[in-house]
Amino acid sequence: MAYYTEEQLKKLGFKYIGKNVKISDKASIYNCDQIEIGDNSRIDDFCVISGKIKIGRNVHITPQCLVAGGEKGIIFEDFTTIAYQVQVFTQSDDYSGRTMTNSTIPSKYKNEYKKEVVLRKFSIVGAGSVIMPGVILAEGTSVGAMALVLADTEPWSIYIGNPAKKLKNRKRDLVELEKEYLKMKVNNVIPFNKPPFTGNEEKYVLESMRSSKISGDGAFTKRCTQWFEEKLACKKALLTTSCTHALEMAAMLLDIQEGDEVIMPSYTFVSTANAFVLRGAKIVFVDIRPDTMNIDEMKIEQAITEKTKAIVPVHYAGVGCEMDAIMVLADKYDLFVVEDAAQGMMSSYKGKALGTIGHLGTFSFHETKNYTSAGEGGLLIINDERFTERAEIIREKGTNRSAFFRGMVDKYSWVDVGSSYLMNDVSAAYLWGNLEKADEISENRLFAWQKYHDGLKALKEKGLIELPTIPKECSHNAHMFYIKVKDIETRTKLLEYLKQVDILAVFHYVPLHSSPAGLKFGRLNDKDEFTTSESERLIRLPMFYGITKDIIELVIKEIYTYYRVDL
């Protein structure tokens, strides 16, 4: 039996197709745009598949089967099987003689019966059997060969005959075998994160390693830089060794001094604050909005004093802060704005890329981000041309080396403070492998994000969890998917439960204002209305490039199981 290649399957244009799907090149498939097929499923020789059809994981449609989904559709849940020459219909003519029949006759002369058919999990249908419109085979149903199924079945029962009738109960041993199988399929543990790898990274890394230049600002650095400047429509992009270092460069560029104050949310990574503390600044923490977990723009102005030098909005989960309001405040009080867009690559606010709205923007290419430069890396975006020349100097250890290489000076020298902030070109080569397929990575993550959102909506409607909010002016990048539970006790119990079923989910930041260093180097302006309480409720679910529909559905299923709600 010859199967379509993965590339050929993609070209057929299925609504969704999972991994390791096998379809015979002798099968006849119609209406591919209405057909969804889950991981590890198989369709054999001489099958005819048409109409609206949803096929789950590990479904086997054996040779010469007819599956006519029509308008109403057929659902094959996970681990279902239909044997040789089984026929499944969702519509039937009126055989009584009161109306005309067959597809050549206009609808007004016919009385067709149309209704969805569902084969629940673990159903199996024997050779030559016929399933009629509207039938629901309950979980674990076994239908013997040559049966005619006209009515719904009972769970875990065996049916035979014409019309099909229950013979006896069916054993359920295979349910335990399924659990063992699923654990094997996901290598025992569903990871929280996997670094993005598209396939070309290895080639480019080797190309860089074999070149005559693997230090900073090599060939791949230039490719990446050009990509960022074009994609983000920014004035200057500088690859750095980390987002932490990009933030440190920003603090130097703003000439942060002892006694200056810098405003930021407490709900962020330590690097956001550290970069400015290193220059002597006092950090002023402002409460967050509970809907986006971003800094509350309405509480910033009351935190501004005569010592305030900058505002650092953090775009949590790749969802933009309310930048218009923040920039108005910056203009009003003559302040600088540094966007911490560590999680925000490929996200936007009112059509403008995150990181390009403030005076400076920073990004992370850590292995947990949507795009990585082999584990660590960062980017500094210069949106205010006043900082361009000095940024190059700071990045090059305080020298004008970049200007020298461009022929702008006869020799280079130490001219300012700085450090070694250049990303090496081998890391840039890996990053280039990601950027080449940036849209593909983004689409995959957005699909996964939406799958989580749709799958968990019922728990939200029951008031058991809260789901992420995306303001209408924001376009996000699906950097993470999180849920909020009732309280920290529920969070602890749910995380422990997920761990027991081999799913790695995590909580996120501990608010900086309550940490030992936060108490020493900063202060909380006004009250902590939402920062602590909201952070204690948040759980991040597994999310990475290449995460499968099956894994997402398994995570969703286990969350429903924890809450004892039927999926």
Is the Cα torsion angle 104, 107, 110, 114 positive or negative in sign?
positive
Burial class (CB in 10 A: 0-12, 13-18, 19+), 171: exposed
CA dist 309 to 328, 391, 530, Å?
15, 18, 25
CA dist 342 to 35, 355, 357, 362, Å?
38, 9, 14, 6
pLDDT score, position 183: 61
Which has the higher per-residue pLDDT, 476 or 107? 476
Residue 205: closest CA among 190, 227, 220: 220
Share of the chain above pLDDT 70, in %: 99
pLDDT score, position 179: 78
pLDDT score, position 185: 53
pLDDT at position 182 over 80: no
Dist. CA 216–CA 226, nearest whole Å: 15
Q: Which of 140-149, 370-379, 477-486, 557-566 has the lowest mean pLDDT?
A: 557-566
CA dist 527 to 22, 299, 532, Å?
58, 10, 11
Cα end-to-end distance, the chain, whole Å: 37
pLDDT at position 482 over 60: yes
Task: Give per-residue pLDDT as tens, 86-126.
Answer: 999 999 999 999 999 998 999 999 999 999 999 999 999 99
Q: Give start-end residues of each CATH 3.90.1150.10 domain in the chain.
A: 439-563
Dist. CA 330–CA 287, nearest whole Å: 18
Residues 346, 442 contacting (CB under 8 angstroms): yes
pLDDT at position 402 over 70: yes
Residue 11: closest CA among 36, 38, 32, 27: 32
Mean pLDDT, the chain, whole residue set = 95
Residues 400, 415 contacting (CB under 8 angstroms): yes
pLDDT at position 410 over 80: no
CA dist 542 to 61, 259, 361, 449, Å?
31, 41, 27, 10
pLDDT score, position 227: 98
Q: What is the identity of the amino acid at 375?
A: G
pLDDT at position 11 over 70: yes
pLDDT at position 39 over 80: yes
Residues 263, 311 contacting (CB under 8 angstroms): yes
Residues 240, 231 contacting (CB under 8 angstroms): no
pLDDT at position 552 over 70: yes
The CATH homologous superfamily to which domain 6-185 belongs is: Hexapeptide repeat proteins (2.160.10.10)
pLDDT at position 567 over 80: no
pLDDT band at 471 (very low <50, low <70, confident <90, very high): very high
Q: Does domain 439-563 have CATH number 3.30.930.10?
A: no
pLDDT score, position 400: 85
3-state secondary structure of 267: coil
pLDDT band at 328 (very low <50, low <70, confident <90, very high): very high
Burial 392-410 (b: 16+ CB within 10 A, else e): bbbbbebbbbbbeeeeeee
pLDDT band at 561 (very low <50, low <70, confident <90, very high): confident
Task: Give per-residue pLDDT as tens, 490-519.
Answer: 999 999 889 877 899 999 999 999 999 999
Q: What DSSP assignment string belongs to 89-104?
A: ESEE--TTSSSB-STT
pLDDT band at 401 (very low <50, low <70, confident <90, very high): confident
Task: Give per-residue pLDDT as tens, 286-302.
Answer: 999 999 999 999 999 99
pLDDT at position 5 over 80: yes
pLDDT score, position 12: 94
Residues 107, 101 contacting (CB under 8 angstroms): no
Q: Give start-end residues of each CATH 3.40.640.10 domain in the chain.
A: 201-205+215-390+423-435
State the average pLDDT over residues 315-320. Answer: 98
pLDDT score, position 188: 61
Q: Give start-end residues of each CATH 2.160.10.10 domain in the chain.
A: 6-185
Task: Give per-residue pLDDT as tens, 56-97.
Answer: 999 999 999 999 999 999 999 999 999 999 999 999 999 999
Is-cis flag, bond preceding 106, omega within 30? no
Q: Which two tokens stand for residue 272?
A: 């956001």
Dist. CA 362–CA 310, nearest whole Å: 14
CATH architecture designation of domain 201-205+215-390+423-435: 3-Layer(aba) Sandwich (3.40)
Dist. CA 434–CA 546, nearest whole Å: 13
